[in-house]
Homo-oligomer: A and B are copies of this chain.
Amino acid sequence: MEAFSDGVIAIIITIMVLELRVPHDASLPALRPLLPVLLSYLLSFIYIGIYWNNHHHLLHAVDHVNGPILWANLHLLFWLSLVPFVTAWMGENHFERVPVAIYGVVLVAASIAYYILTRALIALHGRTSTLATAVGKDFKGQVSTVIYLVAIPLALWKWWLAFALYVLVAIMWLAPDRRIERTLVE
């Protein structure tokens, strides 16, 4: 399951760059309309990177899986696979309000899918397992979901407020999370 998920996530993170359409002009100003697309790509690259990172740590604590867990995992991958689409839509429309809001909708769905996956894994491994301890209360995950839910309506008012919240969540996850690492290594 880990190899397959890693493969899908690797493809998602890489095909996003295909939306950076090559300009026909060879001048520096020709790159300017691509800046929002690049910014959008950078944000999503970091988000997919965060998911890979967390998913990777999570699966390292997994002993065994069953059918429902395979499907909970595919459910997460489905939402992540929509990230390139919303990334391109948001970037190409220079962060118009609706695409920025829909971007948040996909982030919410992915974070819920991740939550379901962790719960299914804990249910299988038991509440006293290494995995349960490693995941803990997943405070960060729940805060992220709440921030996305706040960002979606805000996007329809001022897009940059929502964007700032997306960046905030990314920074929150980029900050080293010693929780899982510590549990797994010790």
Of A79-87, A115-123, A141-149, the one contacting chain B is A79-87
Contacts A26-B93, A26-B99 given; indicate if A17 touches B82 (C-beta within 8 A). yes
Q: Which of B4, B13, B68 contacts A52 (CB 8 A)?
A: B4
Number of copies: 4
A124 on interface, CB distance cutoff 8 Å: no
Segment of A131-139, A160-168, A173-181 engaged in the interface with chain B: A173-181
Contacting residue for A17 out of B22, B23, B81, B89, CB 8 A: B81
Q: Which of A19, A85, A98, A177 has the most CB of B within 10 A?
A: A85
> SS class of chain A's interface: helix, strand, loop or mixed?
helix
State the A residues within 8 Å of B (CB).
Answer: 1, 3-4, 6-15, 17-20, 22-28, 31, 42, 45-46, 49, 52-53, 56, 66-68, 70-71, 74, 77-78, 81-82, 84-85, 88-89, 92-93, 96-99, 102, 174, 176-178, 181
